[in-house]
Structure 1
Amino acid sequence: MNKMRLTIIALLVVGLGALAAIYWSSLLTRPVTTSTTDSSVRIGGPFTLTDQYGRPQTEAVLNKKWTAVFFGFTYCPDICPLTLQTLDQAKKKLGKDGDKLQFVFITVDPERDTPEALKAYLSSGGFPQGVIGLTGTPDQIAAVAKAYRATYEKVGEGKDYTMNHTSVIYLMNPKGEFVSPLTHGLTPEQSADVIRGAMKSQ
């Protein structure tokens, strides 16, 4: 294989890589709506859960505000705390628009995450103020996770088990409709840009 052919192959690989990067970047920065898609791929929907104060909550909690919905658990050592802190910083970068945004944290570990446990966790230092924590029965959690196409899995046995779970954040509009994903790894600035763009497009 001569040098010219190797050069052409290398250029093609670089070009394809660049196109892939542009494509995924567009997915993260362009609002995605489910209003015109088939119902089988819809993200979000009805649920019945309990908040950290023991009050019943339904999908109506998403109405009238932009909402960042995130699945996690209180024993999570890194991703969950970091995600909540990143969201808090992103909200501050939105300025006045930050008042339009709320956070909903849905546990994937209902066995340990009682309303009392959620309340203690979310009221501890370093987390955003006003996060709505939601828990429920295993069946209720399974149903809401399915509605959001979120996955989770128990890992290990005994009291020290952990949970693998989806790390994407679901940005929902004030009608409770899915608009855009905020993927794990975005900076607060990048997350704020996605949220701001979504707000302007609605």
Structure 2
Amino acid sequence: MSSNRGRPSRRPLVAMVAVSLAVIVAAGVATAPRPAPAFHGTTYTGTGPAADFALTDQDGRPTTLASFRGTPVLLFFGYTNCPDVCPLTLQKLTQAVERAGRRARDTRIVLVTLDPERDTPAVLKAYASRFGTGIVALTGDSAALAQARRGYGAYVMIADPARSRAAHGGHAAHAPRPAGLLAHPGAVYGIDRRGDLQVIISDAATPEQVRDDIRTLARM
């Protein structure tokens, strides 16, 4: 009859090996590169901080990009007299935020005006209220707004003068410069809670694609 007395137990050794393997596996998981989030919109190989700006909101308060730190931001350049792209985009964004779920409800839609001569804080406040409470509208002097546009590669130009005159009853020639319709991009810049630019959402994106991209942005 054999006896195990006097022989060292192998159980502590097996336990130590198992613990070591678990630590190695956990370390490998922690250091492995995370897969890039799946967006429908345009993304970049490497993300970085979104361009900062120093503007004024619809309540007259100084506002920078850091003012939104901790919340997802959907940044859009437009103006209140825009006949089509701006209202359609803002409506699409507000509906997409509502449908994106609880985690995305703190998302802020930020409209930067392209028409500061007419878009005073009071005008912007009345306009933004038409689309809900989650919209922040920004203005500033020409230099500050130009810097904000350069930071995102956004452009603005006066549209076809003939179209402008027709849209304003044929009197655009006697009105101040902002009476002309403005050509501008319809893209939306998706910025995460850390202030990094993550995605550019095309104005051709479907409501479902916009909703999905907002969900992805809110989870980051």
Change (3 A) 1:196 1:77: same
Give me the whole-angstrom Cα distance separating, in 2, the residues matched to 1:130 and 1:93.
14
User: What TM-score comes out, normalization by structure 1 length?
Assistant: 0.76
SS in 2 for 1:60: helix
Contact persistence 2:77–2:113 (CA under 8 A):
yes
Is residue 2:190 matched to residue 1:178? no
Cα RMSD (Å)? 2.1
Matching residue of 2:112: 106
Within the candidate set 61, 69, 82, 2:67 is matched to: 61
Q: What one-letter code is carried by the residue in structure 2 that aligns with 1:140?
A: A
Q: What is aligned with 2:123?
A: 117
Separation in structure 2 between the aligned mates of residue 193 and residue 27 of structure 1, nearest angstrom = 8
Structure 2 alignment gaps of length 5 or more: 1-37, 162-172
Q: Quote how far apart the aligned CAs of 1:58 are.
A: 1.2
- Cα shift at 1:29: 4.6
CA contact (8 A) 2:72 2:217 kept: no
Q: Secondary structure at the match of 2:117?
A: coil
How far did 1:199 drift?
3.7
1:35 maps to a residue whose letter is T
Counterpart selection for 2:99 from 88, 93, 98: 93
User: 83, 86, 104: which is aligned to 1:80?
Assistant: 86
- Give the paired residue count: 168
1:32-71 correspondence to structure 2 within 5 Å: 32=44, 34-35=46-47, 44-71=50-77
TM-score normalised over the length of structure 2: 0.70
Q: State the SS of the aligned residue for 1:100.
A: coil
- What is the deviation of 1:128? 2.7
Residue 151 of structure 1: which of 151, 155, 161 is its match? 155
In our comparison, the structure showing a higher alpha carbon Rg is: 2
| Percent of aligned positions that are identical | 36
For 2:34, the equivalent position in structure 1 comes to: none
CA distance in 2 between counterparts of 1:73 and 1:29 reads: 23
Per the alignment, residue 166 of structure 1 pairs with 185
Aligned to 2:136: 132
The one-letter code sitting in structure 2 at the alignment partner of 1:70 is: F
Tell me how far 1:102 sits from its aligned partner. 1.1
Cα distance, 1:73 vs structure 2: 0.2
Q: CA deviation at 1:34?
A: 4.4
Unaligned runs of 5+ in 1: 1-25, 37-41
